Amino acid sequence: MKLCMVGTGYVGLVSGACFAETGQQVVCADVNVEKIKVLEDGGIPIFERGLDDVVRRNVSEGRLGFTSNVTEAIADATAIFVAVGTPPRGDGGADLSAVDAVAETVAKHATRECVLVLKSTVPVGTNARVRNLVKDAAHKIHVVSNPEFLKEGDAVNDFLHPDRVVIGCDEDDDFAKSTMSRLYHPVCLSKERIVWMDPASAELTKYVSNTMLAMRISFMNEIAGLCEKVGADVHSVRHGVGSDSRIGPKFLYAGPGYGGSCFPKDVKALVHTAREHGLELELAATTDRVNDRQKGVIFRKLKAAMPDGIRGKKVAVWGISFKPRTDDIRESPSLTLIDALIAEGAEVVAHDPEAAENASERYEGKVTFATDPYVATEGADALCLLTEWRLYQNPNFEKVKELMRSPLLIDGRNVWSGYGLRSQGFTYEGIGVRGS
């Protein structure tokens, strides 16, 4: 069958390329002509481990193509995936204008019965909203909700080896069910991974999943603060708590707060949806507030360690992306720190192996971006670790100390807490750890 992926952002490009990898004939369409030109020329507009190989292999073997002509791409497709942006509005709700535009285009230009798949993260009720937009189309359009659960940095593996594939459609919609079953059959060969449900439940599952993970992060960040007050070590607490099989060890790491394109937006959207229905999700709302506060923890530690002030000081920042193995800087805690440092009058020199270009566009000369992490520390009064890229996890500390003007380390990821840095002459601060 012919598959069309509308939107070549993070979700659309990964999903389209991976469907092609499973043998489908895929066209990725986007109204952004420049982005399509990059893809047609063999480039990849985002950094995602392994994606470039998948894209190039399937383009060369004729299963994957790109176009800026959305109308032509959807015309005779059996399945059309909506993978466009749904950015947050000022009130926390999602902007669905791009989703609506795709639905209206499909209703007008589809030339056969097809399945319109909502892959974008959308609030509860969007499936019903889209059905209303396509109800008068010349051909039957089946609307299905299929939220994505891809981790940036491991998205290709997540798609091809998913924990689950959530699909929301009507129980009696045999056409939609058979189409979606066939599409996902290659990733279900070892075991059945499709979880069928109604559309509203599928829409809600996406938000609840991300909010629950965000809650774990925010809770452990609060516990890290308590550890600092009572002399406990958050590593020990995390290990003791995570050893309980009912809880598990994942997403219990203290740090400078969560970021990225999903958690911040999805937590706010879930709270907004509940408020629209007269409910207050207090745990979710608090999770969001705790995270906003936590993003300032590195700056607060820096100020406390510099009693004579930050103005005029040189601060090196290692890591700008919100997590390793991606160039995504959206809602990154690093940005909160850098913004505060600039406002305070500090000189900021930053390094990131993949995200420096994206960050340079944001700061327009206000930040110096080093091409080598050690160069960033030359003459620095402090070094702050924000993203735990592997090249930062075991650096040459003797060299770092020689290069820095003042040996102050603020470790936002606690990866250096066991290295005995204080005994080596460093002033060391982690998040909820005693250090050594």
Catalytic residues: 262
d(CA 86, CA 119): 11
3-state helix, strand, coil in the chain (%, to 5): 45, 15, 40
Whole-angstrom CA distances from 214 to 85, 116, 153, 218, 287 are 21, 30, 18, 6, 7
**Sheet of strand 25-29, all strands in order from the earlier edge strand to the far edge:** 64-67, 25-29, 2-6, 79-82, 114-118, 141-145, 165-168, 194-197
d(CA 263, CA 321): 14
Answer whether 124's CB lies under 8 Å from 273's CB. yes
Nearest-5° angle of CA 106, CA 111, CA 115? Answer: 55
Give Dmax (Cα) for the chain.
Answer: 75
Please name the residue ranges forming H helices in 1-50: 10-21, 33-40
Answer whether 114's CB lies under 8 Å from 79's CB. yes
Token pair recorded at residue 86: 């749904």
d(CA 408, CA 428): 6
Whole-angstrom CA distances from 415 to 149, 235, 254, 318 are 27, 10, 11, 13
Token pair recorded at residue 414: 């606690």
| DSSP-derived secondary structure letter, 151 | P
Q: At what angle do helices 234-242 and 199-230 cross, to 10 degrees?
A: 140
What is the separation, in whole angstroms, between the first and last Cα of the chain?
A: 60
| DSSP-derived secondary structure letter, 97 | H
